[in-house]
Structure 1
Amino acid sequence: MMERKHKAIFLDRDGVINKEVNYLHRIEDFTFTHNCIIAIKMLREAGYKILIVTNQAGIGRGYYTEADLNKLMHWLKIELQKNGADLDDYAFCPHHPTDAIGKYKRHCKCRKPEPGMLLSLIEKHGVDVANSIMVGDKFSDLEAAQAAGIQKHILVKTGHEFDENNVPSQWHIFESLHSFALHLTKEK
């Protein structure tokens, strides 16, 4: 087993990194959230690995393929690198328990709020969960992080709407990934 020594920022993709688009799979439909690239660069410079965990039920529903997703993610990695904001890795879940076809129609341990994607990246990258953070735009993102043992949870307002009165007190709310990055790096 790899020694867990790396701190990481786990990011949901849709609504955190890019503006929410239902079943996003084409590069031409991708729009970064405000100052997202700067935020990722700041987080990298603060010593965090950048790891994306994203549910991709559109694959399971037959709207696009795993190859389409991988093409988009490769493009995203290159765009971030051009701006000094590296992405270390990503994991995705193509499954859905009811609204999918073929091999993708099943209950799994990787679809958030299950922790499977996070656990696999934690193991692969030797992540220190006590010093790592999950940033998402939905409760299911943060529930997956809690189940994976990640201690710090950030909810951003750039994606799905949520009732702030229903947010658990241990979760922190920020306007965007950028506002969170500014806060985190100011603390250091």
Structure 2
Amino acid sequence: MTNSKLRPAVFLDRDGTINEQMGYINHLSRFMLLPGAAQAVRRLNEEGIPAVVVTNQSGLARGYFPPSLLEAVHAEMERLLAAEGARLDGIYVCPHHPEAKVAEHRMACRCRKPLPGLLEQAAAELHLDLARSFMVGDRWSDLECGIQAGAAPVLVLTGYGRGELEFVGPQKKNQPVLIAENLSEAAERIIQLLRHERSGQRRPCLLQRIKN
């Protein structure tokens, strides 16, 4: 497929970006959408921009919860999003960890963020243009994953975001192109940028805060 037929997408970290950062979600009752997250995904849907979750879930590898719980959590996420008129175009999970308790997940893989394997897999399967896409997350590992894949990195200040910005970011060479209070603001700014691009204009400088 030629690049002209590939679509830009918004890749979304899960914990701390779409739902409350709760550490390991080892029970369905611990999964709660962040305010505005469903509306943000719906806005991407309305604009025809694929919204794809990419998430590390080493709790599987560590034996903290079974695959059936992860499936239930993602079914609940999709149910809650659907109740607000939103849908995901894909959910991609890395279940691996080099020191996993569960043998089948014990490996140094390419899909564990900050490595770009999940984005590359999604791009191949969903016909996405990584160079025109965005990676949104609350941790620098999300941003570095996007950069390695060729996508623009966006930091949200939900979840670990504020602490990452204050204590991790200053030591990092790679920086986000956008910093947003939450997923809603990130989605709106990304939509503006992609509309600008579709109009035939060059993408403007991205390095700016949406809010202080």
TM-score by length of 2: 0.81
Structure 1 range deviating more: 30-39 or 13-22: 30-39
Structure 1 SS opposite 2:186: helix
Query: Quick check: 1:175 aligned with 2:174?
Result: no
For 1:165, the equivalent position in structure 2 comes to: 170
- Summarize the Cα distance change of 1:179–1:170 in structure 2 as closer, same or farther, 3 Å threshold: closer
Deviation at 1:88, TM superposition (A): 1.0
Structure 1 distance, partners of 2:56, 2:35, is 22
CA 1:77/1:50 → structure 2, altered by over 3 Å: closer, same or farther? same
Larger RCO (CA under 8 A, 6+ residues apart): 1
Cα separation, 1, equivalents of 2:101 and 2:141: 19
CA contact (8 A) 2:28 2:69 kept: no
- In the alignment, which residue of structure 1 is the partner of 2:43? 42
1:101 Cα deviation after fit: 2.9
For 1:139 and 1:100, locate their aligned partners in 2 and report how far apart those are by CA, in whole Å. 26
- Could you list the runs of 4 or more consecutive aligned residues of structure 1 that deviate by over 4 angstroms after TM superposition? 1-4
Which residue does the alignment assign to 2:204?
none
- The code of the aligned residue for 1:93 comes to C
Quick check: 1:57–1:100 contact (8 Å CA) kept in 2? no
Larger Rg: 2
Q: How many angstroms apart in 2 are the aligned matches of 1:52 and 1:131?
A: 17
Q: What pairs with 1:122-137 in structure 2 (closer than 5 Å)?
A: 122-137=123-138
Cα distance change, pair 182–166 in 1 and its aligned pair in 2 (3 A): farther
Counting matched residue pairs gives 187
Q: Which runs of 5+ in 2 are unaligned?
A: 196-212
Matched to 2:21, the amino acid is: E
Pairwise CA distance, 1:16: 0.1
